[in-house]
Chains A and B, each alone.
Chain A
Amino acid sequence: MADATNPIEQFQIKPIVDFSIAGYDLSFTNSSYFMVAAVLLIVTLLSVATGKRALVPGRAQSVAELTYEFVAGMIRSTAGPDGLRFFPLVFTLFAFVLMSNMLGMMHYFPAPGLKGFTTTSHLIVTIGLAAIVMSVVVGYGVYKNGFGFLKLFVPSGVPAAVLPFVVLIEVISFLSRPISLSVRLFANMLAGHILLKVFAGFIVMLGAAGGAWAALGILPFFMVVAITALEFLVAFLQAYVFAILTCIYLSDALHPGH
């Protein structure tokens, strides 16, 4: 009963296979399970969908093609055509975040314990994703532009007197990108799932109270239905936002200097 209404129990990481190296706990957890499940699902679905290579796509193939076009269009419009060299990275990130978010929307899942889990509701996962993005941005930016990459921190048309300040602020602003990128995804998923669980908990509590209270339980029920719909939107939207911000940051690596 306590578990049924505890809104943050769903985020607990439980080891499935215990494993440790030199005192470091490297257990295969439910979080790892859902990451592997997301990757396997993406790979399987996409290869099944595109396996036939029909000239006139069927339903599955057009979904795959739509996703491809969607991501390609996103890169083209934000980072320019030369940003398309990063298509594999952006598509992978988008697909992974989207699939993780969507798997998180399932309350029951064929996993040990049969519980659903949202990997993206853990800050460490989203920070890891953001770190990948930022290392690609910095790495490619320096590789392609050399010291020219530092132009990113020097906006044009600023008087020399305030330039040091502005550069400092720009550097801080740049360093804050991975934080805001990861915190946004994490906070959205965490808050949404807590909200869902809290309202679902109200139903259980009102039902347990019995009598007229139980009849009132219909109200949080409608709320849960509405929030579930909203959460599906958020799940997609956050994957989209993550991908589009990746594109915008990558465009800085391609074309530094404002």
Chain B
Amino acid sequence: MSRREEPTFTTPPDPDDFETRLNAKLEARRRAEAEARKGPSGWALGVRYGSEFTGGVIVGGGLGYIADLVFGWTPFGLLVGVCLGFAAGALNVVRAAQSMNNASGAEDGPRDDA
């Protein structure tokens, strides 16, 4: 142990400690971010929103058409039905987007929007 008095203070006390911890944290965070950003693929997202919206319009229009047939309101049942269906479809899309944001934002805790 002849080199015992090698000055320890010229080298930082724990060079790796902080750096490794920081790197590990950064790495974990980068991975989490990539995971969140990746989310579902664009195609899946498109079909999701598309089907939500189409579903609303189809059901609204269908109900309007049935109202036309049953009550003889032709063509106003269909017109109003499609408009309401449009609104319902938009509502569906907003809900889907909300739930998707929640899912990618905070994984913990139950979702309360649905």
Contacts and interface: CB of A to CB of B under 8 A. Distances in A.
Q: Output the residue of A172, A183, A238 with the most chain B CB within 10 A.
A: A172
Contacts of A251: 110, 114
Contacts of B43: 188, 234
Interface string B87-114: 1110110010001000000011111001
A191 B41 CA distance: 14
A162 to B, nearest CB: 11
Contacts of B60: 172, 176
Given A172-B84, A172-B85, A248-B99, A180 B54 contact: yes
B84 A169 contact: yes
A241 B48 contact: yes
Interface string A186-198: 0110010000000
A248 B58 contact: no
Contacts, number: 88
A176 B48 contact: no
Interface residues of A, number: 31
A79 B52 CA distance: 21
A176 B114 CA distance: 14
A184 B110 contact: no
B77 interface: no
Interface in A123-174: 165, 168-170, 172-173
B55 A169 contact: no
A238 B43 CA distance: 11
Nearest to A233: B41
Given A180-B92, A187-B47, A241-B44, A172 B59 contact: yes
Nearest to B85: A172
Report, nearest first, the 9 A-B pairs whose CB atoms are least far apart.
A176-B55, A180-B55, A172-B88, A179-B55, A180-B51, A173-B88, A184-B51, A248-B114, A176-B59
Interface of A: 77-80, 165, 168-170, 172-173, 175-177, 179-181, 183-184, 187-188, 191, 230, 233-234, 237-238, 241, 248-249, 251-252
